[in-house]
Amino acid sequence: MSLYSILTFLALLILHSSFTLANEENDHLQTYIVHAEPSDGRVFTNPEELESWYHSFLGTMGQPRMVYTYKNVIKGFAARLSLNELEALREYEGFVHARPQRNLPLHTTHSPDFLGLHQDFGFWRDSNYGKGVIIGVIDTGIFPNHPSFSDEGMPPPPAKWKGKCEFNFTACNNKLIGARYFTYGNGTPMDEDGHAPLAHLAVYKVCSGSRRCSESDVLAAMDAAIEDGVDVLSISLGWPSGIPFKFDAIALGAYAAVRNGIFVSCSAMNRGPSYGTLSNEAPWILTVGASTTDRRLRATVVLGNKEEIDGEAIIQPKNFSQVLLPLVYPGKIAANNPNARFCAPEVDEAGGAAIILVNQEADGDTKNLPTILFPTTLVGYADGLKIKAYINSTSTPMATLSYKGTVIGDDRAPIVASFSSRGPSLESPGILKPDIIGPGVNILAASPVSIEGNRNTRMTFLLGSGTSISCPHLSGVAALLKSAHPDWSPATIKSAIMTTADVVNLAHNPIEDQTLQPADVFATGAGHVNPSRANDPGLVYDIKLEDYIPYLCGLQYANREVAIITQQKVNCSEISTISESQLNYPSFSIIFGSQVQTYTRTVTNVGEANSSYVVKISPPPGVHVAVKPDKLDFKNQNRS
């Protein structure tokens, strides 16, 4: 028997991020997102009138071509059209803009079989807060009857709830109050895929088994969620960095959601550690990166020279022999063999007893654990070099694995995950993104698929990693804050989360990234969410919806482009536009020249009525920062 050490390509399985045009069954027809607005300024007060106006665009093509008419997210509809028909449509009075819909990638890291949602979030579960708050989850659907979605102790949904349960059996309850599907032509909200971060209550399925998440479906789901009365929207989909907000369905839908007082939390995407790899960059969205928790699933490599190197493994054999075995380094696995699972049978056949998996350099120390039904451990890149140096140092390299189970209390946590997408925002570099990081590495999750790949079990929990898992954590925190402070606007909730975030780890050192060096702000944003501190932020940076208009005009968007986002007529030359950094955001992103730059912020006191705040400055190296005034006195709450 021998022990294999293999350098795998545990590179992230990133789904296709390039734009793929919707591949419709009929070659000649494509689904277009069509923006429309009566040019005479007519306002439809009756929703049926508006709908029939949208239908009038399709004339004799009629109903079958209409995919969705939208009520909230945009002024317009989605329709299947040929190029000729599109040309004809452009001549219609009220036509604003049309473009072919795109498909969205899901923000997963593992193979879809190994994904799910963290359901064991103590603060949410143990708190009396959060009751009555509805989180809408736009994702791959829901696997009902899972014990995670039991409604024991849950009150009925609030009276404002207008959602539906579209399962054909009694699946919904007081926990899962809604389940709808917007996978055009595919009929059940059942999760086929396991990517179901159901934090609470209402699920809108937009991706079908083929992993196609089409833009018209996403818009329709957001439209319905707004209509149904959700309080928080949790979205783990999105396009890569740099998509203009006016062409980004999630940015458009999120703007409409915020107008309705709904908080929107989105995954940052899993394309790190390279810079400029974010998704969901709009300033009205909370953009969430991923970091580790303090829990390790320890599987230690014991080398022949007695050196011990800590790795991690999900499957922990209880009786693994502590006798040293020959250690072999067969080299890198081919890049087209992206998951080490596939090599376990080979190692088994060759008489191997276990596999030591070693991260690629880019993943550093982020241990995004694969599920392998064979004894393994995964070590970081630097630790892998140590093992290889040991192999080189002796003619008889030996090793064994020591499985130590779950170890809580890693005081270097949270560590930013290698895969967590990094800023800067390409579409709006003057807004710092991501906004926040939260737990997203090896998180316990409810899943419709068991570790063995079994679908016919109802009691499955798996470990999952990705920003798609950190995002629902933040949706949960937002729900708690919304419940505790029903009058807080989405921007106030976001400010409370960001200004109270932790910038140090449990050992009180600066938060690190996968290299185990201090992480930069393009990895952490404001820092790691601290839910209980977010409940009492003292001061907040609020943003009113109308404040985004001078910001959007400042991005040099044309009037009609701003109008597509805001759904109201805008003339940018008649308002004083602002630079991005001047938006009343809870963080700053400033591109320095040699000139002194001055920006203003307005804070609102949501803390003690009679209170004073003094400025404390910790400037980045090489930057001189001055704040005026350096002291603020308040006599009342909700004063700015």
Ligand X SMILES: *[C@@H]1O[C@H](CO)[C@@H](O)[C@H](O)[C@H]1NC(C)=O
Nearest in space to 529 (alpha carbons), one of 504, 492, 502: 502
610 belongs to the binding site for ligand X (CB under 6 A) = yes
Q: Choose which of 55, 212, 388, 533 interacts with ligand X (CB under 6 A).
A: 388
- Annotate each residue in 146-165 with x if it binds ligand X (CB under 6 A) or - if it does not, as one string: --------------------
Q: How far apart are CA 192 and CA 449, in angstroms?
A: 9
Work out the angle at residue 534's Cα, subtended by the Cα atoms of residues 538 and 156, and round it to the nearest 5 degrees: 120
| The two structure tokens encoding residue 581 | 């950094």
Specify whether the CB–CB gap between 278 and 288 falls below 8 A. no
Q: Which stretch binds ligand X (CB under 6 A): 20-28, 216-224, 388-396, 535-543?
A: 388-396
Q: Cis before residue 397, ω within 30 degrees of 0?
A: no
Q: Choose which of 406, 574, 596, 618 interacts with ligand X (CB under 6 A).
A: 574
- Annotate each residue in 307-346 with x if it binds ligand X (CB under 6 A) or - if it does not, as one string: ------------x-x-------------------------
Nearest in space to 265 (alpha carbons), one of 520, 510, 546, 478: 478
**What DSSP state is assigned to residue 627?**
-
- Catalytic status, residue 97: no
Q: How far apart are CA 299 and CA 625, in angstroms?
A: 47
Burial class (CB in 10 A: 0-12, 13-18, 19+), 559: middle
Catalytically annotated residue among 195, 200, 473, 528: 195
Nearest residue (CB) to ligand X, 59 versus 345: 345
From residue 112, alpha-carbon distances to 137, 523, 561 in Å are 17, 25, 36
Nearest residue (CB) to ligand X, 628 versus 635: 635
Tell me the CA end-to-end span of the chain in Å, nearest whole number: 71
39 belongs to the binding site for ligand X (CB under 6 A) = no
Q: Give me the phi and psi of 340, to 5 degrees please.
A: -65, -20
Q: Half-sphere exposure (CA, 13 Å, Cβ side) for 438?
A: 29
| The two structure tokens encoding residue 262 | 């709904």
- Annotate each residue in 434-453 with x if it binds ligand X (CB under 6 A) or - if it does not, as one string: --------------------
Q: Choose which of 571, 597, 602, 638 interacts with ligand X (CB under 6 A).
A: 571
- Annotate each residue in 188-207 with x if it binds ligand X (CB under 6 A) or - if it does not, as one string: x-------------------
Q: Which stretch binds ligand X (CB under 6 A): 403-411, 472-480, 507-515, 570-578?
A: 570-578
560 belongs to the binding site for ligand X (CB under 6 A) = no
- Annotate each residue in 490-529 with x if it binds ligand X (CB under 6 A) or - if it does not, as one string: ----------------------------------------
Strands (E), 166-250: 178-181, 202-205, 213-214, 232-235
- Annotate each residue in 206-235 with x if it binds ligand X (CB under 6 A) or - if it does not, as one string: ------------------------------
Q: Would you call 356 helix, strand, or coil by DSSP?
A: strand
Q: How far apart are CA 619 and CA 616, in angstroms?
A: 10
Q: Choose which of 168, 274, 322, 395 interacts with ligand X (CB under 6 A).
A: 168
573 belongs to the binding site for ligand X (CB under 6 A) = yes
Catalytically annotated residue among 420, 468, 470, 581: 468
- Catalytic status, residue 139: yes
Q: Choose which of 45, 170, 274, 392 interacts with ligand X (CB under 6 A).
A: 392
Specify whether the CB–CB gap between 325 and 399 falls below 8 A. yes
Nearest residue (CB) to ligand X, 18 versus 556: 556
Q: Which stretch binds ligand X (CB under 6 A): 82-90, 386-394, 433-441, 477-485?
A: 386-394
- Catalytic status, residue 468: yes
Burial class (CB in 10 A: 0-12, 13-18, 19+), 608: exposed
Closest separation in Å from C-beta 475 to ligand X: 29
Nearest residue (CB) to ligand X, 82 versus 188: 188
63 belongs to the binding site for ligand X (CB under 6 A) = no
Q: Which stretch binds ligand X (CB under 6 A): 121-129, 172-180, 385-393, 548-556?
A: 385-393
Closest separation in Å from C-beta 39 to ligand X: 11
How far does Cα 599 stand from its chain's mean position? 30
Q: Would you call 332 helix, strand, or coil by DSSP?
A: strand
Q: How far apart are CA 435 and CA 471, in angstroms?
A: 11
Nearest residue (CB) to ligand X, 40 versus 48: 40
Closest separation in Å from C-beta 93 to ligand X: 17
| Secondary structure (H, E, C), 45-85 | CCHHHHHHHHHHHHHHHCHHHEEEECCCCCCEEEEEECHHH
Q: Choose which of 43, 335, 389, 623 interacts with ligand X (CB under 6 A).
A: 389
Q: Would you call 86 helix, strand, or coil by DSSP?
A: helix
Closest separation in Å from C-beta 485 to ligand X: 23
Q: Choose which of 21, 83, 350, 385 interacts with ligand X (CB under 6 A).
A: 385
Strands (E), 369-513: 376-379, 398-408, 436-439, 443-446, 461-464
Q: Which stretch binds ligand X (CB under 6 A): 56-64, 266-274, 381-389, 534-542?
A: 381-389
Closest separation in Å from C-beta 388 to ligand X: 4
Nearest residue (CB) to ligand X, 388 versus 485: 388
Interface residues toward ligand X, by CB under 6 A: 168, 188, 319, 321, 385, 388-389, 392, 571, 573-574, 610
Give the active site residues: 139, 195, 468
